Amino acid sequence: MGLLLIEQAFNGLQFGVMLFLIAAGLTLVFGIMDLVNLSHGSLVMVGAYLATTLIEWTGSFLLGILFALPATFLVGVVVEVLVLRTLYERDHLDQVLATFGLILFFNEVIRIVWGPASLYSGLPEGLSGHVEILPGVPYPTFRLMIILAGLLVAVLIYVIVAKTRLGMLIRAGASNREMAGALGVNIRMLFTLVFGLGASFAGLAGMMLGPLTSVEPGMGEPLLILAFVVIIIGGIGSIRGAFMASILVGLVDTLGRVFLPMLLRSMVADSTADGVGPALASMLIYILMAGILVIRPRGLFPARTG
C-alpha cells in the first residue's frame, strides 16, 4: 500500500510538472497580453507530432527533441505574428472565437499531414527501464526523467523571470501592461518572445507526453482545460501560482483516481462505491477548483492588478 502511494505520488508529480509546462506559457499570455488563447493545446499537439517525426528521422530521442523545440518555437512565433497580433485590442469574446477557429485549423492540418490515426511514439531504449527511487521501489525511468526535466525547466523559468532583465519586463507587464508600455518597453517584441517561449514549453510537454499516451489530433484540448483549472487555482499571471497549482492538481487528480474509489469502498456498499467512485474522482479537480474559488476568487497568488 505504501508502495502504491509512493508510486502514485510520483506519477502525480510527473503529471503536475507536465501541466506546469503547459500552464506557464498560458498564464503569462493571459497575464501580460490579456489574451484568452484556446489554441495553446494545439501547440502541445504540434510539439508532440514534430518530435515524433524528427525522432524517427534522426533515429535519436535527444536529437529529435533538440530539433523539435526550436521548430515549435517558430510555429508559435508565426501564429503570434499572423493571428494573435490582430486580437490583442479585441475583447475576450473575439479572442475566444478566433483561437477556437485556430484549434479547428490546427487539428485539420495535422489530420491532413499525418492522417487521423494516432502515431506510435515509442519509449527511447535508454529510458525504458526502471530506477530504484527508494530501496525496493522501482519507478519507470522515463517518468522520472520527465519529473527532472520539468523541474529543471521550472527552475529555468524562475531564473529568467526573477533574475533577468527579460524577467523584470515580464513581471512588469504581467502586473500592469500599460505601465510597462509607458516605460518604453518594446511591447511587440516582448509579446512575440513570450508567446514563442510559452509555445516551446507547451511543445516540450507534448514531446514528453508522446511516449506515454497517444499522439493524435485533438490531444491537446483536454490538457488545455486542465491548464485552465491550474491557472484559475494559481492565479492569472503568476508563475509561482501556476507551479503550486500544477503540482496540487497533478497530485489530487492522480491520487484521487487511485485512492478515492478505495476509500469509498471502505465507507459505503461496494456497488455504490463502484458507481460513484470513478465519477467523483474525475470531478475531483473541479470540485477543488470550486472550493478554492469560494475563498479566493482571484486564485491563490494573483499577479494582476491592472
**Site residues, other proteins (CB under 8 A):** 30, 34, 36, 83, 86, 90, 92-94, 96-98, 100-109, 111-112, 221, 225, 228-229, 231-232, 236, 275, 278-279, 282-283, 286-287, 289-290, 293-294, 297-298, 305
The residues, ordered by sequence, that sit 6+ positions from 133 with a Cβ below 8 Å of its Cβ are 6, 10, 139, 144
CA–CA distance, 228 with 28 (Å, rounded to integer) = 12
Min. distance of Cβ 201 from other proteins in angstroms?
19
Query: Rounded to the nearest whole angstrom, what is the least distance from the CB of residue 159 to other proteins in the complex?
Result: 24
Residue among 46 and 232 whose Cβ is closer to other proteins: 232
Residue placing its CB nearer to other proteins in the complex, 102 or 146: 102
C-beta of 181 vs 278, nearer to other proteins: 278
Question: Looking at beta carbons only, is 64 or 220 nearer to other proteins?
Answer: 220
Distance in Å, CB of 109 to other proteins, minimum = 6
Q: Are 68 and 121 in contact (CB under 8 A)?
A: no
Give whichever of 23 and 207 is closer to other proteins, judged by the CB atom: 23
The nearest distance, CB 246 to other proteins, in angstroms, is: 15
Nearest-approach distance from CB 278 to other proteins, in angstroms: 5
